[in-house]
Amino acid sequence: MGIDVYWKDEFGEVLGAVRDNGVLASLSSMLHRQSSSNCLRFIDPAGDACFNQLQLPVLTMEMQGMLSAVSSARAHVHLQAVVTLLEGAVRPHTYIWFVGD
């Protein structure tokens, strides 16, 4: 089980992706603990979450904040890949999708 991250255009074409090797799914309890977050709390390993360009800066900032809370080197590398995708996903009419199982 994993949570894959996709950057898609308005037609559903994938512009970039970070496939989950189980790391993001294993951090799902950490995501749910972010009850004060605007975006992270909606990422669920059993469902999908979509974020638009207005939400992207907030999502990126919250995901960057998680980097310091992760002790595993493997998890840190994976989260950094997600953050890099988010930082590069600035284009009109595109969306970030977190796709669970």
- 0.75 cut: is pTM over it? yes
Task: Decide if pLDDT at 13 tops 90.
Answer: yes
Percentage above 90 pLDDT, the chain: 61
> Per the structure, how many domains does the chain have?
1
For 44-60, give the DSSP string.
-TTSEEEE-TTTHHHHH
Task: Decide if pLDDT at 2 tops 90.
Answer: no
Task: Decide if pLDDT at 39 tops 80.
Answer: yes
Residue range 52-93, pLDDT digits in tens: 999 999 999 999 998 888 888 999 999 999 999 999 999 999
Closest by alpha carbon to 55, among 66, 42, 39? 39
Domain containing residue 51: 4-99
